A = this chain, B = another copy of it.
Amino acid sequence: MAVYTDVSESELGAFLKEYSIGELLSYKGIAEGSENSNFLLHTTSSSYILTLYEKRVDKDDLPFFLGLMEHLARKGISCPLPVHRCDGSVTGVLAGRTAAVITFLEGMWMRRPTVAHCREVGKALASLHLAGMDFPMSRPNALDMTGWCKLWEGSHDHADEVEPGLTAEVDADFAELERSWPKDLPAGIIHADLFPDNVFFLGEKLSGLIDFYFACNDLYAYDLATCLNAWCFEKDNSFNLTKGAALLAAYQSVRPLSEAEKEAMPILARGSALRFMLTRLYDWLTIPDGALVQKRDPMEFIRKVRFHRQIKSPSEYGLK
């Protein structure tokens, strides 16, 4: 929620000489996107997003992320399209950072999503999964179980300071997840972070998906489980079954789930909740107070882990 790197008009002007997007009229740092510095540009031709990739993004992954956005956009998914420079490339260097210009999508993200929004997201996620099937590049999920273990190693000794008993609780989750994690489910390109702030709407109609900087190859049903965690819980951490059923049915109207995927939903949702709890816990314990990075309460997601732990059947999510 910050601009980490400021850009002067003269260096931005020089950078934009490599693009054919008209004359620059204004640029404003925007308070969204927790990993990178983002600016909203107005030019004589249109609006664009300028992203400066900060250290949390591996530069070697940019051809995958930007190539995927281009692939998906050409397949009809409404997502930002990287703008090519005059030499054909999609990144340059600005203020010492690798930087890209992408098209601006109109729309608002929903602070309080409704059932109708959940339905739209379910359809869009399944469409994204189908559209990514012939994308030629791949990227392993850096936040798979091996990644979770690393985060846990870095947090383990201080977890009880956040809540007494948390260490033993999460250790037990890891044991169960390592035993039960599904391996042979359909996999391919997933978004991996499709939270409400990454989905734009105009009214009840979905107008775009953004922020592909966690996209990777992993289980499709895991991506769907993440959406259950991101969209179907209320502020009081209660699970909204109507939203869950709507999201899952809408997904299946585009890409039906196999029986094995359905059966795996409780363990996938539990793993997904643990993954977001772990990144938040790690940041909570390691980022100094006063840093620009916004730290978020890890306890929200441990409550979701606990919810999924007591699920007996996927039908409890409204899954049919």
- Give residues in A with beta carbon < 8 Å to B: 1-3, 6, 8-10, 12, 24-32, 40, 42, 47, 104-112, 200-202, 289-290
Whether the pair A111, B8 counts as a contact (CB closer than 8 A) is: yes
Whether the pair B3, A108 counts as a contact (CB closer than 8 A) is: no
Whether the pair B47, A42 counts as a contact (CB closer than 8 A) is: yes
Whether the pair A111, B9 counts as a contact (CB closer than 8 A) is: yes
A-B CB proximity, top 7 nearest: A29-B31, A8-B111, A290-B290, A25-B106, A9-B108, A289-B290, A28-B30
Expressed in whole angstroms, the minimum distance between the Cβ of A287 and any Cβ of chain B is: 11
Alpha-carbon gap, A203 to B26, bound state (A): 11
Whether the pair A108, B27 counts as a contact (CB closer than 8 A) is: yes
Whether the pair B108, A6 counts as a contact (CB closer than 8 A) is: no
> Inside 8 A of A32's CB, which chain B residues have their CB?
28-29
Q: What are 26 inter-chain pairs, A to B, with CB distance below 8 A? A: A1-B2, A3-B31, A8-B110, A8-B111, A8-B112, A9-B109, A9-B111, A10-B111, A10-B112, A24-B108, A25-B106, A26-B104, A26-B105, A26-B107, A26-B108, A27-B108, A28-B30, A28-B31, A28-B32, A29-B31, A29-B32, A40-B40, A42-B106, A289-B289, A289-B290, A290-B290
Q: A106-B25, A111-B8, A200-B26 are in contact. Are A31 and B2 (CB under 8 A)?
A: yes
A108: nearest residue on chain B (CB-CB)? B9
> Inside 8 A of A8's CB, which chain B residues have their CB?
110-112
> Inside 8 A of A290's CB, which chain B residues have their CB?
289-290
> Inside 8 A of A112's CB, which chain B residues have their CB?
8, 10
Alpha-carbon gap, A289 to B290, bound state (A): 6
Alpha-carbon gap, A10 to B113, bound state (A): 10
Alpha-carbon gap, A32 to B108, bound state (A): 20
Alpha-carbon gap, A104 to B109, bound state (A): 22
Alpha-carbon gap, A107 to B9, bound state (A): 10
A37: nearest residue on chain B (CB-CB)? B31
Expressed in whole angstroms, the minimum distance between the Cβ of A48 and any Cβ of chain B is: 13
Alpha-carbon gap, A111 to B105, bound state (A): 28
Alpha-carbon gap, A2 to B294, bound state (A): 11
> Inside 8 A of A2's CB, which chain B residues have their CB?
1-2, 31
Given contacts A8-B112, A9-B111, 10 further A-B contacts (CB under 8 A): A6-B111, A10-B111, A12-B108, A24-B108, A26-B105, A26-B200, A29-B30, A29-B31, A30-B40, A42-B106
> Inside 8 A of A25's CB, which chain B residues have their CB?
106-107, 202
